Amino acid sequence: MRLDKFLSNAGVGSRSQVKALIKKGQVSINDHKARSSDEVIDENNDVIYYQGKRISLCKHRYYMLNKPTGVVSATEDNLDKTVLDCLSKEDAKDLFPVGRLDKDTTGLLLLTNDGELSHNLLSPRKHVDKTYYVTCESEVTEEQLETLRKGVDIGDDKKTLPALAKAGQHENELYLTIREGRFHQVKRMLHAVGNKVVSLKRLSMGSLKLDDNLKPGEYRALTAEELKDLKGGSIKMPV
Ligand code: URA
């Protein structure tokens, strides 16, 4: 396997990031500094180090996608393009989205083949924060923000949990952080306070933040740091 592919599959960074790290001399193969990204390694016998730390190829893979509108959060669909169609065939193999965003929602979506992490992030008992940037049909009033913060009746047996709600850049926009993942939750919350969502973008999930450099439809592997925080974060969340 090529060295740059090995490192990006191991979560060290994107293909272009790892190329730069190799160039800077931060990667070693056994006892010598790696010379170039296209060096071919034997992933079963060679030992690879990045900044002195041993890197092993993990069987799990993790990508963040800036989900565009018009694609569904599923692994296959008879009618629509799915989020997996945004990835190359090779990268998409065996992956699934961690949770769902509506077809018209954009922003951060984690794709992985790690069922345990997915379970930890989605478990209702873990209360993982999800922050959305919401554009509404009409002005978001201070009263609406206050009601959203306290929790609202969206027609389920229980009110929504307290949320963080903060005014956005324009009068009809807001940042909303929720700790649950009920069906169409954000749209139903805004409806419950007498407004209407016209567009919705997810900015973060737990410690993971959408990379501003990713245009809608673009994706990249998570860095080792992002993965460490996400795994640690998902375990440390209050239950
Ligand atoms: N809430 C919604 O209403 N839609 C989403 O896609 C995500 C959260």
3-state secondary structure of 227: helix
- How far apart CA 137 and CA 17 sit, in angstroms, is 40
Q: Could you read off the pLDDT of 138-166 as tens digits, one per residue?
A: 999 999 999 999 999 999 999 999 999 99
CA-CA distances (angstroms) from residue 80 to 70, 103, 199? Answer: 8, 9, 20
Question: Position 235: which residue type?
Answer: I
Q: What is the residue with the minimal CA distance to atom 3 of ligand 1? A: 184
Indicate the residue type of 194: G
Q: What distance in Å separates the CA atoms of residue 29 and residue 1, rounded to the nearest whole number?
A: 13
Distances in Å between the Cα of 74 and the Cα atoms of 102, 103, 190 are 10, 10, 25
Q: Residue 234: its pLDDT value, please?
A: 44
With a pLDDT cut of 90, the percent of the chain lying above it is 77
Atom 7 (ligand 1) nearest CA: 101
Q: Which atom of ligand 1 is nearest to the CA of 184?
A: 3
Q: Which of 77, 102, 129, 211 is catalytic?
A: 102
Mutate to test the pocket of ligand 1, among 72, 104, 105 (most ligand atoms within 8 A of CB): 105
d(CA 166, CA 153): 19
Q: Among 71, 72, 102, name the best residue to mutate to test ligand 1's pocket (greatest count of ligand atoms within 8 A of Cβ).
A: 102
What does the alpha-carbon distance between residue 109 and residue 64 come to, in Å, rounded to a whole number? 6
pLDDT at 58: 67
Average pLDDT over all residues of the chain: 92
pLDDT at site 238: 30
230: nearest Cα among 112, 124, 93: 112
CA nearest neighbour of 49 among 72, 25, 84, 71: 25
Could you tell me the CA-to-CA distances from 96 to 51, 87, 110, 113, 179 in Å, in that order?
Answer: 31, 11, 9, 6, 21
pLDDT of residue 13: 85
Cβ atoms of 39 and 2 closer than 8 Å: yes
Give the least confident one: 45-54, 69-78, 226-235: 226-235
CA distance 168 to 201: 13
Active site residue 102: yes
The atom number, within ligand 1, closest to the CA of 178 reads 8
Convert the pLDDT of each residue in 71-90 to its tens digit. 999 999 999 999 999 999 98
Provide mean pLDDT across the span 17-33: 93
- Taking the C-alpha atoms of residue 38 and residue 36, their distance in angstroms, rounded to an integer, is 6
Residue 217 to residue 195: CA distance in whole angstroms: 29
| Distant-in-sequence, close-in-space partners of 16: CB < 8 Å, separation ≥ 6 | none
Instruction: Say yes or no: CB of residue 186 within 6 Å of ligand 1.
Output: yes
What value does the mean pLDDT take over residues 217-221?
95
